[in-house]
Structure 1
Amino acid sequence: MRAPARICQPRSRELGIHVPDEVKPRRRQARGERRIAQLLDAAATVFRTTGYTAASTNAIAREAHVSPGTLYQYFPNKEAIAVELGERLLHRMREAHGQAFTPANFDLPLAEMLDAILDPMIEFNCAHPVFLALMHGSDVPGRIAEEHDALHASLLTRVEELLGHYLPDMPAADRTRTASMAFALFKAGLDLVIGHEGEEREAYIRELKQVMFRYLEPVIGHVVPATPAGT
């Protein structure tokens, strides 16, 4: 008579070996990460169309074509979704800044420099229109607002550095004011760019670059950088 089949147990359990939590499979790996990406994409759509305050976890679940129960397996509430989405967007935005504000770009003629700096920024915001809706809302979670404010301050600092590269003797107050105005012009034009598509969007991009050129050209258009980039 054949002996009863032995129920297989994990070797570690059979030997009485404790497996630390950090080496156990993480829930967010593989299938879990795909589900999270699906939920974040849905949240981006809902936040962009209704705003953060009016958005709900039920609406996000519907947009993702999952049940609310499935959503709650990964996120406890709407704020947690917004924080996760916001942090991922901020990370990608920092990468766009890194592509834009390089020493090599600072030595280009003004028109080419604007292309090199603005194109990555415009491309990012067009690919992620929820960024402006989420980051500039007055009701977004404080953690996101704080990180965005830090990123905004970093960007202004980079613009001031650019001005200082061309005009090292420019008073600090003038440099800050010019950088703030240039950034405000960019944000205003960016709203129009994102609000249009196709040929109209391209036309607004050209208009935005022209506005930036006309503003900065009297300041740095014909100035030779005081020091080589990267020194």
Structure 2
Amino acid sequence: MPASPEKQEKEQPRRRQARGERRIAQLLEAAANVFCTTGYTAASTSAIAREAGVSPGTLYQFFPNKEAIAIELGDRLMHEMRDTYGEALAPVDPATPLEEAVAAAVDRFIDFNCQHPVFFALMHGPDIPGRITEEHDALHAALVSRIEDLLSSFLPDTPPADVNRTAHMCLGLYKAGLELILAHEGAERDAYVRELKNALTRYLDPLVGEKLGGRRATATPAH
């Protein structure tokens, strides 16, 4: 039996909305590929439309310019990244050995960045939109705060300024290692991941090694 006119009227906007969402997802995926390949500055809406297999006119139905595409992509990635660091920097069981705690956090962050390499390209490009810069600064501050909370539970007598410095060093080491990791693939990428874990473990070991697991960490030799 044919649907009533009223039901058809309700279904048509939903179908248009679903088609629109699929098209937006298609354009964002294409933009991610272009940003990773050429960088944000050199990317163009024409290149993004070509990558998506649509006309520039179709792209402009959804986004007025390249900056709007980058902001939408950045917003979605920021939301997912916040979920990731919420899991990665959750409170640690005091019985957990230091190297295991470090490895678990690093693996979650590395997995996110390897799945979404455009996140690094957008967050660290030389000419990213101002709104993305602001969002990135807020994310950085939130990450430092979460790392501070994590460290404070094992260093209750350490002055806040020292904990803050240690948190900044941890995040700085991670970002430096991430750039190298994303620049390699396969076995070489895995090797750099191990190096990053070792660097963080050895840095933190004198500070919290005896607090975690009741013994000092035994990092795997780097070479």
TM-score, normalising length from structure 1?
0.84
Aligned partners of 1:106 and 1:162 also within 8 Å: no
Deviates more, 1:129-138 or 1:58-67: 129-138
Unmatched segments (≥5 aa) in structure 2: 214-223
Structure 1 or 2, whichever has the larger Rg, is: 1
Work out which structure has the larger RCO, using CA pairs closer than 8 Å and 6 or more positions apart in sequence. 2
Correspondence for 1:88: 76
- Root-mean-square deviation (CA, aligned residues, Å) is 2.3
Say if 2:177 is the partner of 1:189: yes
User: What is the aligned partner in structure 2 of residue 3 from structure 1?
Assistant: none
How many angstroms does 1:49 deviate by? 1.6
The alpha carbon displacement at 1:104 in A equals 3.8
Match of 2:14 in 1: 25
* d(CA) in 1 for partners of 2:205, 2:80: 30
Aligned length: 210
By how many angstroms is 1:107 displaced? 5.0
Identity, % of aligned positions: 62
Change (3 A) 1:106 1:96: farther
How far the C-alpha of 1:28 sits from its partner, in A, is 3.5
- Superposed, 1:113-152 pairs within 5 Å as 113-152=101-140
Tell me, yes or no, if structure 1 residue 220 matches structure 2 residue 208.
Answer: yes
| Cα contact 2:30–2:48 (8 A) shared by 1 | yes
The alignment status of 1:101 with 2:89, answered yes or no, reads yes
User: Which consecutive residues of structure 1, in runs of 5 or more, have no partner in the other structure?
Assistant: 1-8, 13-18, 226-231
Q: How big is the shift at 1:11?
A: 4.4
Which residue of structure 2 lines up, in the alignment, with residue 46 of structure 1?
A: 34
In structure 2, what is the equivalent of residue 163 of structure 1?
151
The 2-side partners of 1:124 and 1:224 are apart by 26
The answer as to whether partners of 1:40 and 1:85 remain within 8 angstroms in 2 is: yes
In structure 1, what is the Cα distance between the partners aligned to 2:132 and 2:21? 21
AA in 2 matched with 1:165: S
- What is residue 216 of structure 2 aligned with on the other side? none
How far apart are residue 179 of structure 1 and its match? Answer: 0.8
User: What is the rounded CA distance, in whole Å, between the counterparts of 2:105 and 2:66 in structure 1?
Assistant: 34
2:195 aligned partner = 207
User: 3-state SS of the aligned residue for 1:25?
Assistant: helix
**Partners of 2:17 and 2:63 in 1: CA distance:** 11
